[in-house]
A and B are shown apart, each in its own frame.
Chain A
Amino acid sequence: MTEKFETHEHDVLIIGAGGAGLRAAVEALNQGASVGVVCKSLLGKAHTVMAEGGIAAAMGNVDAADDWKTHFRDTMRGGKLLNNWRMAQLHAQEAPNAVRELEQWGALFDRTDSGEIMQRAFGGHTFKRLCHVGDRTGLEIIRTLQDRGVQLGIDVYMECTVTRLLLDGGRIAGAFAYWREQGRFVVFKAKSIVIATGGVGKAWKVTSNSWEYTGDGMALAYEAGAELMDLEFVQFHPTGMVWPPGVQGILVTEAVRGEGGILRNKLGERFMEKYDPKKLELSTRDVVARSIYTEVREGRGTEHGGAYLDISHKPAEYVKRKLPGMYHQFKELADVDITKGPMEVGPTFHYTIGGIRVEAETGAATVPGLFAAGEAAAGMHGANRLGGNSLSDLLVFGRRAGLAAAAHAKKTSAPAIDSKQVEDAEREMLAPFEHRGGPNPYEIHRELQDTLQSLVGIFRNEEDLKRALAEIQRLKERAANVSVEGSRLFNPGWHLARDLKSMLTIAEAVTRCALERKESRGAHSRIDFPEYDPVWAKKNNIIIRDGAGMALRQRPVPEMPEELKQVLAEDK
């Protein structure tokens, strides 16, 4: 039955070609596995390219006192202790080597006077820890990994979108996908699959995320029976552009504050003195985002509903050298010269902290043969992610997932493709062409974005979340009848019809988890439950498919060993 479709076979199939996917691919190739990488866009355009400020690694090049224990402590405290401790530990221990590896593959980081990799300050990090290249660190990382992959002979299926994971019994057998260019379908046979598809930011209206960020990998894993975890935690970056409207949400890197940028309200008050007098602008992102939001809500916002972020007290040449992207972005898109005056900034959806539940060492999900790494996976960042910890997360856990996926493929027999699953997947993709007069996918997408923006934002309450859930349900029903115009040839409307399904699934999961967690912790703030709850401190929310419905349960947060508890208790 599958002869009908173009078919490719690999030991390891990687979905997503950002930092995590490419790092996983490099490692699986190193193990001798046959590796295919499938990505929705062209190679090198994945979201990692937008990472700006830097990659966190306790190398101690600038502050010699830094070490993995301090990085571990910062990460756990930033995550309000909800993190998987083992992931936070591995991450802190392995990040420096992950950065050195990049350098050995050709990356060129900014340098210190003594010729080491330069490191800068960032929110929640005790020491100057972020290795960087001006404000385009992500570009350097993705290009380095891309070049390394090409050198090792990686097979990349560009502009190809996976719409379903195929199973053999309970284990991974492959994936069904379609080529954007011609709209043709393709079947991948694989013993292991690594999901590295990032988050779901495009379901919100004000976001720093690109069109690709529609929660696909999380939704694919969920459909295949994997557990999702901690989805109530989504990170609103404190500083996105707020004006003009066309650029709303575009990221303003935390490096502006790392380099000495100051936040003020319209009265000229340095308001972070009130919310976090010790760390000020370099408090954790959850705190800074809430502070800006509160200033605006209480009438002290700027003309366009944000806060002022000012770096103009630094020499103009310094600003242009360390923040060239920001300088040009504001000059070209907002007519603001940041060397002369302040930027207007406000919170923007930035990062999906929760995701697929994985084993710390291997990135293995709860479906045999399925792995996840990077933003698509959960656990590493707990209730709030520190800036700079995402790029290091991609490398550390991308490598581990690639290693484990290759090892799994080695010891596994070839799975069989079930033709019925393939037919179902094909039918699902073709349905929007058969519905006539159904709703337009763009219309539903706009309604979903408005709903989540207003009801599942920085501050939440039970009433809003219940309304959001009802609205998502209504949108799901409409999305089932969505119709598309035109042909299968490179058709973005058709593509969005499929992306909508993923966005709606993950939006529902986020909302259900947010409703369930009756406390405020990290990036999850409930107006009706504003305090920490010691009972919730010990629980992770889990989402799993239950027939056609979504089930929610809890798992205990893994208990930290005694020696790490001591590390955590040390006050530095």
Chain B
Amino acid sequence: MAEAVLAVYRGDRESGKPVEYKVPLAPGMVVLDALHYIQGHLSPDLAVRWNCKAGRCGSCSAEVNGRPRLTCKTRMDSLPLESPITISPLRAFPVIKDLVTDVSWNYQVNKKIPAFTPRPGVQWKMFQKDVDRPQEFRKCIECFLCQNVCHVLRDHGKHAQYGGPRFFVRVAGLEMHPLDGVSRAKLLKEQLGLGFCNITKCCTEVCPESIHITDNAIIPLKERIVDKYYDPLFWIVRKITKTGGS
């Protein structure tokens, strides 16, 4: 039977290294199947996060040959088998063990975002053309691959001042909800650091749900901030009302 060799990162917060495992191949096999084979037959304490194994929950993110992927959707027959396939944990978050990283920071960021707030007296009627845009953002399965490849987090470690593409997508979904009544522009500018994003589109490239993160979420949000804070007309109006009030 044909075999593949996987070089899987084994280790914890302190130290670790790739360890090679030989895995028999089967038709249609995905990388997560190979990891399960290792758990079931070779190393029962290999730590891997996964849930649905159907590309719907976003748990099994890892870097396969250096590329951020959902391991449940990465076919073994799409990878070159001449050399070992490297499987490493996401790089933007601290390792807990093996392929499992500490993603709790994302849940902290999420708490900063004001929830959907319907406009007062709103009619609960919406048309498909009005929900098409926010529905795209609500496809997000929170795999955090976009967070993992964003330079601001991955290379510059600005976790404290920045929200990352996942949360720009979430905010876009709320801001573009046809019945929502609050503005999150201040939050985007001051707490989620949208200005750090220099639209390199790395996030869009890795999104397993094919959400147009940069074009449809980030750029329109950047425009909203410009309108609110940097539009000269608005600036004068703000200045006047502020003066008038003091």
Contacts of A442 on B, CB cut-off 8 Å?
39-41, 44
Contacts of B103 on A, CB cut-off 8 Å?
42
Bound-state CA distance A115–B47 (Å) is: 47
A-facing residues in B12-39 (Cβ within 8 Å): 12, 26-30, 33, 39
- Encoded as 1 (CB less than 8 Å from any B CB) or 0, chain A from 319 to 343 comes to 0000001001100111000000000
- Whether B26 pairs with A246 at a CB distance below 8 angstroms is yes
From A100, A115, A139, B56 is in contact (CB under 8 Å) with A139
| Minimum C-beta distance from B176 to chain A (A) | 10
- Whether A211 pairs with B50 at a CB distance below 8 angstroms is yes
The residue on B at minimum CB distance from A104 is B118
B-facing residues in A233-253 (Cβ within 8 Å): 243-247, 250-251
Bound-state CA distance A493–B48 (Å) is: 11
Bound-state CA distance A133–B100 (Å) is: 31
Bound-state CA distance A41–B139 (Å) is: 20
Q: Is the interface of B mostly helix, strand, loop or mixed?
A: loop
Contacts of B55 on A, CB cut-off 8 Å?
325, 328-329, 332
Say if the beta carbon of B141 comes within 8 Å of chain A.
yes
- Whether B177 pairs with A210 at a CB distance below 8 angstroms is no
Say if the beta carbon of B119 comes within 8 Å of chain A.
no
Contacts of A489 on B, CB cut-off 8 Å?
12, 47, 96-97
- Encoded as 1 (CB less than 8 Å from any B CB) or 0, chain A from 241 to 272 comes to 00111110011000000000000000000000
The residue on B at minimum CB distance from A484 is B44
Say if the beta carbon of B205 comes within 8 Å of chain A.
no
- Encoded as 1 (CB less than 8 Å from any A CB) or 0, chain B from 121 to 140 comes to 00011111001001100110
- Whether A333 pairs with B28 at a CB distance below 8 angstroms is yes
The residue on A at minimum CB distance from B102 is A181
Say if the beta carbon of B174 comes within 8 Å of chain A.
yes
Say if the beta carbon of B49 comes within 8 Å of chain A.
yes
- Whether A210 pairs with B53 at a CB distance below 8 angstroms is yes
- Whether A333 pairs with B75 at a CB distance below 8 angstroms is yes
A-facing residues in B133-175 (Cβ within 8 Å): 134-135, 138-139, 141-142, 174
The residue on A at minimum CB distance from B106 is A42
- Encoded as 1 (CB less than 8 Å from any B CB) or 0, chain A from 181 to 219 comes to 100000000000000000000000000101110000000
B-facing residues in A155-203 (Cβ within 8 Å): 158, 181
Task: With A139-B141, A151-B115, A333-B75 as known contacts, state yes or no: A103 contacts B57, CB within 8 Å.
Answer: no
Contacts of A487 on B, CB cut-off 8 Å?
45
Query: Using a Cβ–Cβ cut-off of 8 Å, how many residues does chain B contribute to the interface with A?
Result: 57
From B29, B97, B107, B116, A43 is in contact (CB under 8 Å) with B107
Of A84-92, A140-148, A355-363, A394-402, the one with at least 4 CB within 8 A of chain B: A140-148
Task: With A151-B115, A243-B28 as known contacts, state yes or no: A210 contacts B12, CB within 8 Å.
Answer: no
- Whether B45 pairs with A494 at a CB distance below 8 angstroms is yes
Contacts of A250 on B, CB cut-off 8 Å?
53-54
- Whether B51 pairs with A111 at a CB distance below 8 angstroms is no
- Whether B48 pairs with A143 at a CB distance below 8 angstroms is no
- Whether B33 pairs with A246 at a CB distance below 8 angstroms is yes
Say if the beta carbon of B228 comes within 8 Å of chain A.
no
From B28, B41, B102, A246 is in contact (CB under 8 Å) with B28
Contacts of B102 on A, CB cut-off 8 Å?
181
- Whether A41 pairs with B59 at a CB distance below 8 angstroms is yes
- Whether A325 pairs with B56 at a CB distance below 8 angstroms is yes
Say if the beta carbon of B183 comes within 8 Å of chain A.
no
From B26, B43, B97, B177, A106 is in contact (CB under 8 Å) with B177
Contacts of B142 on A, CB cut-off 8 Å?
44
- Whether B54 pairs with A147 at a CB distance below 8 angstroms is no
From B26, B48, B75, B124, A100 is in contact (CB under 8 Å) with B124
- Whether A45 pairs with B135 at a CB distance below 8 angstroms is no
- Whether B75 pairs with A50 at a CB distance below 8 angstroms is no
Say if the beta carbon of A532 comes within 8 Å of chain B.
no
- Whether B59 pairs with A42 at a CB distance below 8 angstroms is yes
- Whether B52 pairs with A49 at a CB distance below 8 angstroms is yes
Bound-state CA distance A571–B104 (Å) is: 54
Bound-state CA distance A210–B40 (Å) is: 16
Say if the beta carbon of B46 comes within 8 Å of chain A.
yes
Q: Which residues of A contact B (CB under 8 A)?
A: 41-47, 49-50, 100, 103-106, 108, 110-111, 114-116, 133, 136, 138-140, 143, 147-148, 150-151, 158, 181, 208, 210-212, 243-247, 250-251, 325, 328-329, 332-334, 440-442, 446, 484-487, 489-494, 496
